[in-house]
Every structure is written in C-alpha cells, then in structure tokens.
Amino acid sequence: MRHFFPWLLSLGLLTATSPAALAQQAPSPYHTRFAVDAPVTLGLGAVSSLGLYLVSQKDGLTQAQLSALSKSDVPRVDQFVAGNYSKTAQTVGDFIVYPTLLIAPGLLALDSDVRGRYGQVIGLYLQTMLAQNAIFTMTVGNVTRYRPFLYGSEGGSSRNSHISTNSFFAGHTANTAAATFFAAKVYHDFHPGSAAEPFIWTAAAIVPAAMAYTRIEAGKHFLSDNLVGYAVGTTVGIVVPQLHKTTERTGLSLAPLQGVNVNGYSYSGLLLTKRL
C-alpha cells in the first residue's frame, strides 16, 4: 500500500474518489499545540464570517448601470472573457471544487504514516481552508469587480444580484488550489525525496487550473481573477503546514544569545541557525 499510495494520490486529485481508513500513530513532521492552534483556527473562522457578512451587504447593479457597461472598460488581458456565460461550465466547476475539498485530504488517509497523525493533519487542513476563506471573503467583501457575464446579455435575474460584483478574486479556484497543494505539501513533508513527488505536484497543479478554466468559460471570473485565486490558494496550502514544521524537519532552530564583544560591550538577541 505504501508504494501504491503516491500514484493513487496523484490519480485521485485528478479523478475524485474518497477513502476512509484507520491506523496507528506515526512520527509527524509538524508541531501543533491546541492552546495556540485552536484560537487561531477560531479567529480565522470569525474573520471568514465577517467577510461573508460584508459580502451580503453589497449592492447589485441597476439596469442603468448594466446598460452602461462596456467591454472596452475591461483591461486588455481580460477582454477575451467579457461576455462569457455557460451554465454547463459552472456545473462542471462545481463538480470539481466540492469533491476536491473532501478528496484531497481524504486520500492522505491511505498513507500509513499520515494516517497515524490524521487528526493533526485534518486540524491543519481546517486551519488552511479557513485561512484561505478569510482572505477570500474579506477581499470580495471589500472589492467590487463586475463578473464577466455582465458584459453580455445572459444571466437572467443574477445580473442584478449582489454576487454579480464578486469577480475578484476567484474563490472556487483558490479553494481548489489550497486543497490540492495542501495534500501535496503534506505528502512531501512525510516523504521528502519520494520518486512520486513530481506526479503528485503535477496533479495538484492541474486540478485548480482546470477549475480556473471552467470559471472563465462560465463567465464568473476573468483571467486575472483566476491567476490571483490560484496564487493565493497555492500559497496558503503550502505555507500553513510549513509554518507548523518541526525544527527537526526544517533544520532551523532559534535560541537566545548573550555575550560580551571584544570592546567590552554586552549584547543579547536571538540566534537563528540552519542545519545543512
């Protein structure tokens, strides 16, 4: 199973199937403390909730505002998206993002080492997704950018909805990237140097890219919205577990430093060392 898992993780990130498993305790590359991580996670949840509230308070466009929209007002890099609209693409995107949010962490349970610390990994995953959503909701709640489909004639009643101003940035893409890159990062941290890593990282990159394509075709987000969403999701998915890496795995240590220099002056500070 151990040799089979990396290939299944790569395939699973691309095809979407969900596992469940139990296992014994295993060494972890991460250090977490309930007294620290629980308040942080709750705080991120509170910020996400605040962001959602701000989003709900936004106003939609009036018919006069819709009539005044012009594709020429869209930055040139995004003009090819203006006017796009596809319910099919939106549905396909939904079938990518929502299963991926369960599949990406679920596949990690197939690995015996990860499974032994699965409670810790799931805690980190929750913190990762809440961090991503805190950034997303606060951004969308404070930034108004019209969705691409508004520059066409389709969309029906949603053209006047407050969510039609939530184009920046692409939340579906960001959430998908955070989930897949989190899974790839965790596998890397438990199995550094694995021959399967290129395939896992490639799978992690392809899924949110496909998600971004559907959002462009659906007329939900411009190219730039998706590029930002992809970058934010990828960064959060990698950085949150990295911040919890143990000293033994990172080779980094931080210690107080005090002494007297050659001129007789005392000094104090922190010594950061990196094991080579």
Instruction: Give the pLDDT mean for 194-220.
Output: 97
Is residue 31 in a domain? Answer: yes
Is residue 199 in a domain? Answer: yes
Is residue 261 in a domain? Answer: no
| pTM of the model as a whole | 0.82
The total of structural domains in the chain comes to 1
Q: How confident is the model at residue 271 (pLDDT cuts 50, 70, 90)?
A: low
Q: How confident is the model at residue 17 (pLDDT cuts 50, 70, 90)?
A: very low
Q: What is the pLDDT of residue 255?
A: 47
Widest Cα–Cα separation across the chain: 78
Is residue 271 in a domain? Answer: no
238: buried, middle or exposed (CB in 10 Å: 19+, 13-18, 0-12)? buried
Instruction: Give the pLDDT mean for 203-216.
Output: 98
Asked whether residue 252 carries a pLDDT value surpassing 80, the answer given is no
| Segments forming the whole domain that contains residue 137 | 5-250
Instruction: Give the pLDDT mean for 228-252.
Output: 87
Asked whether residue 56 carries a pLDDT value surpassing 90, the answer given is yes
pLDDT digits (tens, 9 = 90+) for 62-115: 999 999 999 999 999 999 999 999 999 999 999 999 999 999 999 999 999 999
Q: How far apart are CA 162 and CA 139, in angstroms?
A: 15
Is residue 265 in a domain? Answer: no
Asked whether residue 170 carries a pLDDT value surpassing 60, the answer given is yes
Q: What is the pLDDT of residue 22?
A: 38
62: buried, middle or exposed (CB in 10 Å: 19+, 13-18, 0-12)? exposed
Is residue 179 in a domain? Answer: yes
Is residue 32 in a domain? Answer: yes
Is residue 264 in a domain? Answer: no
Instruction: Give the pLDDT mean for 127-135.
Output: 97
SS3 call for 95 = helix
Q: Which residues contact residue 182 at a Cβ distance below 8 angstroms, ignoring those fewer than 6 apart?
A: 104, 105, 124, 125, 128, 237, 238, 240, 241
Q: For residue 53, what are the CA distances in angstroms to 57, 127, 215, 238?
A: 6, 20, 24, 28
Under 8 Å between Cβ of 219 and 85:
yes
Q: Which residues contact residue 186 at a Cβ distance below 8 angstroms, ignoring those fewer than 6 apart?
A: 108, 114, 121, 124, 241
